[in-house]
Structure 1
């Protein structure tokens, strides 16, 4: 699975955290440092498993719940229509 920002959504890093702006609605969503790390990893093409490895590398205490936490974040971003998911090799529409 590859993740990209929905057209019209911008990611603005602010130190270790970030803000997502949905230009279609004018709404902002602030991401904490952990969510920012995971989203950046996903946007870099590492997929959920790669994002989980990065999360555990930087936060070893996240090991038991890393995959579930990433799935929950992806679901929240998907539900808010902020990301587009495509199968590997498939182009986003």
Structure 2
């Protein structure tokens, strides 16, 4: 499922990853390069399987671990109210 950030969430890519600003609460969150890759794939319309594929290809990690990482980040972004 594609990912969308809320209207009150601003993003900025940095040399290390991506910074998210929740303007409602004035809180910053930082995604490392792995999280940034996951978000890029999902924001481009890819699903969680495509994001896991991208992790396996880019970082040569185990498929099961990639799926866990994607699921965990998506759940955290949605639980925090940053993404739908």
What secondary structure does 1:25 align onto? coil
Quick check: 1:28 aligned with 2:12? no
User: What is the TM-score of this pair, normalised by structure 1?
Assistant: 0.84
Quick check: 1:40 aligned with 2:40? yes
User: Could you give the per-residue CA deviations for residues 46-67 of structure 1, whole angstroms, max 9, x where no partner exists?
Assistant: 1101111111110112433111
Distance 2:71 2:61 in 1: 17
User: Could you give the per-residue CA deviations for residues 5-45 of structure 1, whole angstroms, max 9, x where no partner exists?
Assistant: 01110110002411000011110001111011111111111
User: In structure 2, what is the equivalent of residue 19 of structure 1?
Assistant: 19
What secondary structure does 2:75 align onto? helix
| Structure 1: 5+ residue stretches without partners | 85-93
- Which structure is higher in strand share? 1
Count of aligned residue pairs for this structure pair: 84
Contact 2:9–2:82 at 8 Å: present in 1 too? yes
Distance 1:2 1:46 in 2: 6
| Structure 2: 5+ residue stretches without partners | none
Where do 1:1-93 residues align within 5 Å? 1-84=1-84
